[in-house]
Amino acid sequence: MRKKIIAGNWKMNILPSETAALVKGIAEATKGYSNVDVVCCTPAIDIPAAVAACAGTAVQPGAENAHWEPSGAYTGEISTGMLADAGVKYVIIGHSERRQYFGETDETVCKRTTAVIKAGLTAIVCVGETLAERDAGKVDEVIVRQMKEGLKGLSAADASKLVIAYEPVWAIGTGRTATPEQAQEVHALIRKVLGDLIGIDAAETVRIQYGGSMKPGNAAELLAQKDIDGGLIGGAALKADSFAAIIAAAAAK
Ligand code: 13P
């Protein structure tokens, strides 16, 4: 049995001064849900406030990106060691917005993921096709490539520090969700490719989240699918009540 994991991706929202209230609201509303991992991945500048607010609660702090070098002349970047030192536990890697706007490639995803796991943190590695790729019948091709290139060099020993997020780009922030069947189909493919990469037994232990307009109203049917082990939530993670409702749906599974 894989423990469900619901993570918020705050993206470039929520001020440092607003962070404690949101984390505390989520912690309060989800007290007692010990069968779900709850994570808030925040902008880097919110991390100290998020870490402080998470202390003594079941909510775990996360980041939205990390550089692969341990230190050096990389103006504007943040290393995995810095994140670990600040108290971060999870790091989102390869989000489609980073691929689309900031030059993220499968190769840099691989470097970042390797560095995150080496630092003892858990990587939430995002994969997903665009609408044009889906319409061209290229979903499998895109997912297999992102997985094989992005996770190159990982082994079964890394499985406990790895989460995959399937985020169809056409479903992000659009209100358009993949149907549970569409999502399950890709999640099953992801698990099969993971099996090829790190072995079937290890692949069975890796949590695969769905992301893309997941909301209180559709979370339960998505989370009921065999290979959907959680959610990576954007918009609905910015309010304690909607995020807590999704966590409640996961806890009920
Ligand atoms: P929305 O939930 O706003 O569609 O965003 C999903 C996402 O990109 C999470 O990483």
Residues 96, 98, 101, 107: what is their CA dihedral angle, to the nearest 10 degrees?
A: -100
What pLDDT band is residue 226 in, cutting at 50, 70 and 90?
A: very high
CB 23 near ligand 1, within 6 Å:
no
Q: Tell me which of 95, 97, 129, 187 is the catalytic residue.
A: 95
Percent of the chain with pLDDT over 70: 100
- Confidence at residue 206, expressed as pLDDT on a 0 to 100 scale: 98
What is the number of the ligand 1 atom nearest to the C-alpha of 214?
A: 2
For 80, residues 6+ apart whose C-beta sits below 8 A from its C-beta are: 66, 67, 68, 70, 91, 115, 116, 118, 119, 121
Q: Give the pLDDT mean for 14-35.
A: 96
**DSSP assignment letter at 67:** B
Q: Tell me which of 64, 97, 129, 167 is the catalytic residue.
A: 167
Mutate to test the pocket of ligand 1, among 100, 169, 172 (most ligand atoms within 8 A of CB): 172
What pLDDT band is residue 1 in, cutting at 50, 70 and 90?
A: confident
Q: What is the pLDDT of residues 164-174, one digit of tens each?
A: 999 999 999 89
Alpha helices for 93-165 (secondary structure H):
96-101, 106-118, 131-135, 139-150
pLDDT at residue 176 is higher than 90:
no
The C-alpha atoms of residue 199 and residue 51 are separated, in whole angstroms, by 34
What Rg do the C-alpha atoms of the chain give, in angstroms? Answer: 17
CB atoms within 10 A of CB 98: 19
Residue of the CA atom closest to atom 1 of ligand 1: 234
Q: Residue 67 catalytic?
A: no
Q: What is the pLDDT of residues 37-94, one digit of tens each?
A: 999 999 999 999 999 999 999 999 999 999 999 999 999 999 999 999 999 999 999 9
Residue of the CA atom closest to atom 2 of ligand 1: 234
Query: Which of 1, 13, 28, 6 lies closest to 238, judged by CA?
Result: 13
Which domains does the chain possess?
4-21+28-233 (3.20.20.70)
Q: Residue 77 catalytic?
A: no
Contact between 194 and 203 under an 8 Å Cβ cutoff? The reply is: yes
